[in-house]
Amino acid sequence: MKDVDYQAVAPTVMKRIEDGAFLVVQAGDRINVMTIGWAMFGYVWRKPIMMVAVRKTRFTHDIIEEADSFTVSVPTGDMEKEISFCGTKSGRDVDKFGECSLSTTKARTINSPILDIPGYHYECKIINKSAMDPRFLSKDLERLYPMRDYHTLYFGEILGCYLRE
């Protein structure tokens, strides 16, 4: 794996995240993978940050609430089928790793593993969690929450960013 500067590859990565990437979270013996299509990079609290959003109704939310870290794997190859499956099925009901033949490998610095796939990989230590308050949500975004299942925003300090080809 080749270390890369998260800022240098951010434009490429953000374009790919629009089509879907994988969020992996582990707490104790519980692990899950889900598809994300939203994320943000920035520099907050004097730290490089990746923010991901997870709806409270998702199985991943149950795990990430107990976790101290998460990883994001942004595939460089065609994984449309796996991205679709992991974005439409719940880890409560199916083994997404098994169904999609996805395996993990140990992350370098955190507890949550990375997917063993070609792509950009981010290791993030959770440093803040913030539940959305719908009172402050722009009215034109309410259409994204017909079931009022708002996100919790997880801010992870980027401890590693690398490319596996």
pLDDT at 73 over 90: yes
Burial class of residue 53 in the structure, from the number of CB atoms within 10 Å of its CB (0-12 exposed, 13-18 middle, 19+ buried) = middle
Query: CATH code at 146?
Result: 2.30.110.10
Q: What pLDDT was estimated at residue 96?
A: 97
The pLDDT value recorded for residue 50 is 97
CA distance 154 to 47: 14
Per-residue model confidence as pLDDT tens digits over 7-17: 999 999 999 99
Whether the per-residue pLDDT at 30 is higher than 90: the answer is yes
Residues 63 and 30 sit within 8 Å (Cβ to Cβ): yes
Looking at the 3D structure of the chain, how many domains does it have? 1
Parent domain of 32: 2-164
Mean pLDDT within 64-74: 97
Using the predicted structure, report yes or no on whether residue 68 has a pLDDT greater than 90: yes
Q: Give pLDDT tens digits for 88-120.
A: 999 999 999 999 999 999 999 999 999 999 999
Q: Residue 1: pLDDT band by 50, 70, 90 thresholds? A: confident
Rounded average pLDDT over 81-86: 97
Can you tell me the mean pLDDT for 146-160?
A: 94
- The CA–CA distances, whole Å, from 47 to 31, 135, 162 equal 26, 29, 18
